[in-house]
Amino acid sequence: MIEIFNLKNVISIKDFSKEDINYILDEAKKLEKVAKSQAISNDLNGKILGMMFFEPSTRTKLSFETAMKRLSGACVGFDSVSSSSMEKGESIADTAKMLESYCDGLVIRHELEGVSQFISEIVNIPVINAGDGAGQHPTQTLLDLYTMREEFGHIENLNVALVGDLKYGRTVHSLAYALGLYNVNMTFVSPNELRMPKEILRDLEKNNIKYKENTDLNDVIDDIDVLYDTRIQKERFPDVEEYLKIKDAYLINKKMLEGKDLIVMHPLPRINEIDYDVDDTKHNRYFKQAFNAVPVRMAILKNLILNNKKFED
Ligand code: CP
């Protein structure tokens, strides 16, 4: 059993050291053949993962389920209040306690920041934050870093632009913290209304992590290795009129990428920020990125569930 990965839960990427991240990426690499169904693993045989999803999901939910099943484990859970007894008024705390008694780990997506943290404090099985409102999405960040490392062989010193909705986009919140551990040249490209939150900028500055901000993607597109695009998060806008004003702020298409030496990543779903004509270009890494969720989440599940430190509390 590994000794380096000592996390009891995966709630915030801020809880990870660079060594923790590198460890998970290395473990994920070893699991690629299992993820691709080219090898069999019984590592989580007999283990059950609980899924509590209060917001829609395709990739996160299904890749966790795939990861668990590829390791010979199983999943139970629900994907809405209305398909659980919370519909009858049961509290989320009691619901989580029920899943604790059935499962060996819990994955939670919720529209409110801090819910995964709260649940992690009341159950004795590992809890994974699969996205909490506009807060964090730490496992997405791990697969994003895996994708960059697979592409370039390293993460250090890459030139990365995080583009789009940096205010409400939880994937870029987690990713900015993680890239800060790797001496990456980060540029945050967004409309003024959707700038990276001040507390994240302050945290980066406190740790002497350098970043630039820009509103114009054209200013930076020639100098980046990774264009990490994001969806404008319509569901988090208090006023839909504000959303409509900026929803098309950055539209990426094949023509604007001509002659550029960069990869395009996106946590997905995309709405219209990446034109379909980019899909068949050398720049597209967003589908590969989505597949990388499987080996990376396998590595996370294997290490958290088999090494459950919460029983020691
Ligand atoms: N990247 C991501 O979180 O996608 P889903 O919302 O489909 O899970």
| Position in ligand 1 atom list of the atom nearest CA 267 | 1
219 CB neighbour count, 10 Å cutoff: 13
> What is the rounded CA–CA span in Å between residue 185 and residue 210?
7
For ligand 1, the distance from its centroid to the CA atom of residue 227, given in whole angstroms, is 18
CB of 127 within 6 A of ligand 1: the answer is no
Closest of 139, 88, 96 to residue 115, by C-alpha: 96
Domain 138-290: what homologous superfamily? Aspartate/ornithine carbamoyltransferase (3.40.50.1370)
Q: pLDDT of 225-268, one tens digit each? A: 999 999 987 877 788 877 787 787 789 999 999 999 999 999 99
DSSP 195: P
pLDDT of residue 125: 97
For ligand 1, the distance from its centroid to the CA atom of residue 62, given in whole angstroms, is 9
Active site residue 59: yes
Q: pLDDT of 178-237, one tens digit each? A: 999 999 999 999 999 899 999 999 999 999 999 999 999 999 999 999 999 999 878 777
Active site residue 60: yes
> What is the rounded CA–CA span in Å between residue 215 and residue 266?
18
Lookup: tokens for 91 = 């509290």
Shortest-distance Cα residue to atom 3 of ligand 1: 60
For CATH 3.40.50.1370, list the domain ranges present in the chain.
Answer: 13-136+292-307, 138-290
| Position in ligand 1 atom list of the atom nearest CA 60 | 8
pLDDT of residue 1: 46
3 CB neighbour count, 10 Å cutoff: 7
pLDDT tens, residue order, the chain (313 aa):
445 678 999 999 999 999 999 999 999 999 999 999 999 999 999 999 999 999 999 999 999 999 999 999 999 999 999 999 999 999 999 999 999 999 999 999 999 999 999 999 999 999 999 999 999 999 999 999 999 999 999 999 999 999 999 999 999 999 999 999 999 999 999 999 899 999 999 999 999 999 999 999 999 999 999 999 999 878 777 888 777 877 877 899 999 999 999 999 999 999 989 999 999 999 999 999 999 999 999 999 999 999 877 766 5
pLDDT of residue 194: 92
For ligand 1, the distance from its centroid to the CA atom of residue 160, given in whole angstroms, is 21
> What is the rounded CA–CA span in Å between residue 292 and residue 288?
6
CB of 140 within 6 A of ligand 1: the answer is yes
Cα→Cα distances 299→141, 217, 241, Å: 14, 35, 42
Active site residue 109: yes
Cut 0.85: pTM above it: yes
Lookup: tokens for 142 = 């791990």
Contact 232, 189 (CB under 8 A): no
Closest of 311, 253, 307 to residue 279, by C-alpha: 253
pLDDT of residue 244: 80
CATH numeric code, 13-136+292-307: 3.40.50.1370
Residue-wise DSSP of 155-210: -TT-EEEEES-TTT-HHHHHHHHHHHTTT-EEEEE--GGGPPPHHHHHHHHHTT--
Task: Name the phi and psi angles at 53, rounded to 5.
Answer: -115, 115
| Position in ligand 1 atom list of the atom nearest CA 109 | 8
**To 5 degrees, how large is the angle CA 97–CA 99–CA 105?**
110
Ligand 1 pocket test: which of 59, 229, 270 has the largest number of ligand atoms within 8 Å of its C-beta?
A: 59
The catalytic residue among 8, 47, 137, 302 is 137
> What is the rounded CA–CA span in Å between residue 159 and residue 226?
6
CB of 292 within 6 A of ligand 1: the answer is no
